Amino acid sequence: MNQHTRVDAAPIAFIDVAAQRRRLGGRIDAAVACVLDHCQFVLGPEAALAAFCGARHAVTCASGTDALLMVLMAKGIGPGDAVICPSFTFCATAEMVALVGATPVFADIDAATFNIAPDSAARAVAVARRVGLNPRMIIPVDLFGLPADYKAINALAAAEKLFVLDDAAQGFGAVAGNRNIGTLADATTTSFFPAKPLGCYGDGGAVFTDDDDMRDILVSLRVHGQGSDRYDNVRIGLAARLDTIQAAVLIEKLKIFPDEIAERNRIARRYSQHLGDVVTVPRAPGDVTSVWAQYTIRIKAGTRDAFAVALKAQGIPTAIYYPKPLHRQEAYRHFPADERGLPVSDSIAEEVISLPMHAYLDETTQDRIIAAVLRAVGA
Ligand SMILES: Cc1ncc(COP(=O)(O)O)c(C=O)c1O
């Protein structure tokens, strides 16, 4: 192996948290030290998060999963209720629906955006009614950082009287038209898990809403259903606070987040320019800016394993989100779905593979990844 190939095969990080830490480490260390000094461990960066996206309220909590659960609880969703979800998502979207005793009803996705297909969601509503459920909510997911089709979803929701909960665990920071994620649905949840576009150093999440009453209920729910003080319990709740150390990390990271989003978009554009002729690259519709939680391409079914092995041999990690849609999972396959089946979710699950994506991928590394993909597909 000559010098050149040895350098080329050095492993690349899929998501490089250390590179961001090199940029921000001192500021975060100081912010955390300040938290340790004043010993307030349970407050959140709520005003900054709400201002960032333009929502009236942000309510922080312990994870993106808790955020979903808190909204479902706040809306009193439970047995007999149906909640329409995409099948091609991380399990938490439907998991929290089932946890409160309601029934997730699965809809298919759009092949170009990977997001819930409004026509399939409409059929899922009809299926829910036919099996005797009361359709009350729809949870579009901004998969891989791309906002779902809120115009169509909000129109469907208005016609069917559904509450729209945007699961923006992957999409916080994205924009559709002139509106930010956080303001496109009745409520929005996000995750600050470290691998997310805006991640803290542990678990964290938030709910965004313009509804004052919902905000008050969420604040109560995250601390054991507290009322006027923490020993006044007015409802059944959770222990779901964001701890202040994570809040301190988030406040610092939020300051450089716009810059990181711009970088992610630059990298995605470059990938697409170079790979668009040989694989199916992700495309954001005209008025939408993705936050590129993942850069996910599609390659011919049956070739994915060999493709991943070829990239790995060149030091390039890949990931598959998601190898099995929820309606094929043991825990979820008994739930109802669009009567036409979910053919797009089924086929896309065999074709998707995500390339390294983070704001600190320099051009040399991008070029290595692009060259490796071109070699692996024989272009
Ligand atoms: C679409 C989606 N929803 C919900 C979650 C749950 O977020 P958390 O891991 O913070 O609980 C995730 C996390 O990966 C996700 O991707």
Q: What does the CA dihedral 345, 350, 351, 356 come to, rounded to 10 degrees?
A: 100
Q: 60 with 221: CB under 8 angstroms?
A: no
Q: Average pLDDT, whole number, for the chain?
A: 94
CA of 203 to the centre of ligand 1 (A): 10
Segment 325-343, tens digit of pLDDT: 999 999 999 999 999 999 9
- Cis before 360 (ω within 30): no
Q: For residues 235 and 227, what is the distance between their CA atoms, to the nearest angstrom?
A: 8
| Per-residue pLDDT at 5 exceeds 70 | no
Segment 251-261, tens digit of pLDDT: 999 999 999 99
**What does the pLDDT read at residue 42?**
57
Task: Report, as an integer, the average pLDDT of 241-257.
Answer: 92
Q: What is the DSSP letter of 75?
A: T
Q: For residues 267 and 228, what is the distance between their CA atoms, to the nearest angstrom?
A: 49
- Best residue among 90, 93, 95, 141 to mutate for probing ligand 1's pocket (most ligand atoms within 8 Å of CB) is 90
**What does the pLDDT read at residue 8?**
60
Pick the more confident residue, 212 or 19: 212
Q: For residues 13 and 17, what is the distance between their CA atoms, to the nearest angstrom?
A: 9
Segment 89-126, tens digit of pLDDT: 999 999 999 999 999 999 999 999 999 999 999 999 99
CA of 278 to the centre of ligand 1 (A): 31
Q: Which amino acid is at 275?
A: L
Number of C-beta neighbours around residue 163 at 10 A: 19
Q: Which amino acid is at 22?
A: R
Its pTM stands at 0.95
Q: 154 with 177: CB under 8 angstroms?
A: no
Q: Point out the ligand 1 atom lying closest to the alpha carbon of residue 141.
A: 1
**What does the pLDDT read at residue 82?**
98
Residue by residue, DSSP assigns 209-230 as: ES-HHHHHHHHHHTBTTB-SST
Task: Report, as an integer, the average pLDDT of 256-280.
Answer: 97
Q: Point out the ligand 1 atom lying closest to the alpha carbon of residue 191.
A: 10
**What does the pLDDT read at residue 40?**
66
Number of C-beta neighbours around residue 281 at 10 A: 18
Segment 288-310, tens digit of pLDDT: 999 999 999 999 999 999 999 99
**What does the pLDDT read at residue 41?**
56
Task: Report, as an integer, the average pLDDT of 333-359.
Answer: 98
